[in-house]
Amino acid sequence: MLKAVILVGGSQKGTRFRPLSLDVPKPLFPVAGRPIIQHHIEACVRLKELKEILIIGYYAQSEMEQFVNDMQSLYNVNIRYLQEFTPLGTAGGMYHFRDQISIGNPKAFFILNGDVCADFPLQALHDYHMSREGKAMITIMSTEATRQQAVHYGCLVFDKDNGSVSHYVEKPSSYVSTFINCGVYVCSTEVFNLMSSIFHSRQLEYHGFGNGHNGRDQGHIQWEQEVLTPLAGTGKLFALPVNNWWSQIKTAGSAIYANRHYLELYRKTHPERLANAGTKEIGDGDGSLICTIYPDVYIHPTASVHPTAHLGPNVSIGPGVSIGPGVRIRESIILENAVIKDHTLILHSIVGRGSNIGCWARVEGTPSDPDPNKPFAKMDNPPLFNKEGKLNPSITILGCFVNVPSEKILLNSIVLPHKELSRNFKNEIIL
């Protein structure tokens, strides 16, 4: 029996995902028409032996409840949300809920960070872990990055023949290795014994020397620094390098990148979800034209799209969205109940829930995709502002219920929720 843990953090995290995370928890932000962590869940439920998925974080129960109920009814596995009482660090939360994870005695459990997206190779990771014949306590999914970018991730050095990790360092200041930690692991439950000893030495430190833990809760444990780094070189930590598509989802810009890859993945896993044929499915439709489609495009069944619209590539249209005549959308995500009026063009943008865009408007952002000409390049997550204090060009984001009047242009701008715009905006944050 197998289990999986999805670590989602809390609302104090994911601030770089604002303003999209202002009205919906980041893990529930829809990418390719599904909340980010539903893609994790779908990867998990493909494993026959997997019986339970535990989502751990410190979002309020009420924020996750509906989602968990929906998932529970969609998939034939047990899915629960476990709320940390306070941020306990990447490992502290799992240790706190160790009994919940261990119950039923799974032979192994997966850990998936909620802020990555990937074609998760869970079966391969599992098989590799098991093939280490009981030696492996943790196996890390690893991928290659460029020398420049690797230092922004956990870097690891491992034996190319047997996968044993000899060195692990989180976000080093100088180059260590181009192999990085993908935030996806498979673990044996004995990892809790290791965490237990860390926890108890921490308690000793805490009570013996006063509050020496930076004001954090005494149950706070950092997975990478306190578990992975010491475990490297002991022969119990392994890595499986893979070439599958993988990225972090840190900034809002990465949502569009993730959207493209999840849509592409649907071709293999769920072709029925794509509107690529450009006609309404037999079943809920009559085979008539939806609109002109440049694959890949996802359109929620409750969205209304005028047949003269042109959508794609890389477009997701949410529930209840209305797309008017002659609208053109490319490389964008349109969230639920947004209204896009006639002849409007949307490029490299995210349009928030309930937003309204008039006729002949232009909403355009600048993509921040990895350099396609550099092997192993990952997404850069540039800071909002450059050294001159100017806004770095980014995708354009409209928070929820933003109103863009007809004929206006919105270029490389970020608009916070509930704004009524009345003029053109370029390279601005509109509070």
Applying CB under 8 A, which residues contact other proteins? 325-326, 328, 330, 342-343, 345, 347, 359-360, 362, 364, 407, 409, 411, 426
| Complex with other proteins: residue 94 or 327, whichever CB lies closer | 327
Residue 68 has a CB neighbour count (10 Å cut-off) of 16
Q: Dihedral of CA 428/32/302/27: which sign?
A: negative
In the complex, the smallest distance separating the C-beta of residue 19 from other proteins, rounded to whole angstroms, is 23
In the complex, the smallest distance separating the C-beta of residue 246 from other proteins, rounded to whole angstroms, is 30
| Complex with other proteins: residue 144 or 428, whichever CB lies closer | 428
Q: What 3-state DSSP class applies to 354?
A: coil
| Complex with other proteins: residue 119 or 342, whichever CB lies closer | 342
| Complex with other proteins: residue 39 or 330, whichever CB lies closer | 330
Asked whether 165 and 180 are in contact (CB, 8 A), the reply is: no
Residue 188 pairs with which residues in a beta bridge? none
In the complex, the smallest distance separating the C-beta of residue 14 from other proteins, rounded to whole angstroms, is 30
Q: Report phi then psi at 262, rounded to 5.
A: -65, -35
Strand order in the sheet with 310-311: 292-293, 310-311, 328-330, 345-347, 362-364, 409-411, 425-426
In the complex, the smallest distance separating the C-beta of residue 392 from other proteins, rounded to whole angstroms, is 15
In the complex, the smallest distance separating the C-beta of residue 366 from other proteins, rounded to whole angstroms, is 10
In the complex, the smallest distance separating the C-beta of residue 347 from other proteins, rounded to whole angstroms, is 7
Tokens of 333: 């995500």
In the complex, the smallest distance separating the C-beta of residue 376 from other proteins, rounded to whole angstroms, is 27
Tokens of 378: 């990952």
| Complex with other proteins: residue 295 or 326, whichever CB lies closer | 326
| Complex with other proteins: residue 409 or 416, whichever CB lies closer | 409
Residue 353 pairs with which residues in a beta bridge? none
Tokens of 201: 């030495």
Task: Tell me: cis bond preceding 70? Omega within 30 of 0 counts.
Answer: no
| Complex with other proteins: residue 264 or 342, whichever CB lies closer | 342
Angle at 157 between CA 154 and CA 163, to 5 degrees: 110
Asked whether 238 and 132 are in contact (CB, 8 A), the reply is: yes
Tokens of 428: 């601005």
In the complex, the smallest distance separating the C-beta of residue 346 from other proteins, rounded to whole angstroms, is 10
How far is the C-alpha of 32 from the C-alpha of 204, rounded, in Å? 47
CA 63 to chain centre: 17
| Complex with other proteins: residue 160 or 390, whichever CB lies closer | 390
